[in-house]
Amino acid sequence: MKGVHLVRHPILGQHVAELRSKKTESRDFRWHLKEAARILLLEALAGAPVKSAFVETPLAKTKGLTLAMPVVLVAILRAGLGMVDGMAELLPDAILGHIGLFRDERTLKPVHYYSKIPNIAPGAWTFLVDPMLATGGSAVYAVDLLRKHGAKTVKMISLIASQAGVDILRKAHPNVDLYVAAVDKVLNDNGYIVPGLGDCGDRLFSTL
C-alpha cells in the first residue's frame, strides 16, 4: 500500500518475536522495544535530505554528511516513551514532544489529557511515535494536533498496526507515511490488535 512501509529486517523480526511473546518480562520488553524503535527510525530516515560538512580527522580535512533538516520526535503517552528513548540516543539533537491520549474503553475514541509540543519549523521532519496503531483514532487526532503546531512533514512510526488502523490513518492523512514492523489483520471488539502483543504500556511499565 502506498505510504505504508513494512520494514523487513531479520534483527527487527527477532525483536518483534520477543515483544509478542507473553514470556518476555518487562525488563527485556523495554530493551527489545527500544532496539526495534532504533531500526524503524533508521529506515524512516533513509531518504532524508543531507548536506555536506567538513570535518577534521587526526590526519586531514575531509567531507562528511549531516542531516539537512531538524527532527522532531513526538511520543504518544505513555507507551511511546519506550520507543522515543532509543530514537533520541540516535539523534541527540532531536526536539522532543509529548501527546497524552488514552482510549475510552466504551467508545474506543481517544481522550486528550496532555500535550507539550514545540513550535515546529516548516522544514522539520516530525515523527509521531506509538508502538501500537490499533483503531487509528489516536493517530489521526495526534496528526491533527501536530498540523496545528506547524508540522508540514509528518511520518508515523509504530511497531505493530492493525489493518483497520492503517486504513483509517491513510484515509484521514494520506500524506503521512507509516513505518511499521508488522500489520496484523484482526482488531477485536475491545480495540486490541490480534495477535498483537497485548497492552504495550502495561508490559513496558510492569503495570499488568
170 belongs to the catalytic site: no
| Among 8, 104, 202, 207, the one annotated catalytic | 202
CA dist 100 and 130 (Å) reads 11
103 belongs to the catalytic site: yes
CA dist 96 and 98 (Å) reads 7
- Contact, 112 vs 101, CB < 8 A? yes
Extract the C-alpha cell encoding 152: 508540514
CA dist 178 and 172 (Å) reads 13
30 belongs to the catalytic site: no
202 belongs to the catalytic site: yes
Amino acid (one-letter) located at 142: A
Extract the C-alpha cell encoding 52: 555536506
| Among 20, 147, 167, 199, the one annotated catalytic | 199
| Among 20, 78, 85, 103, the one annotated catalytic | 103
| Among 8, 28, 104, 107, the one annotated catalytic | 107
Segments in 76-121 forming alpha helices (H): 81-90
E strands present in 4-162: 4-6, 50-56, 61-67, 71-77, 95-103, 110-116, 125-129, 132-133, 153-162
Extract the C-alpha cell encoding 44: 524512516
Annotated active-site positions, please? 103, 107, 199, 202
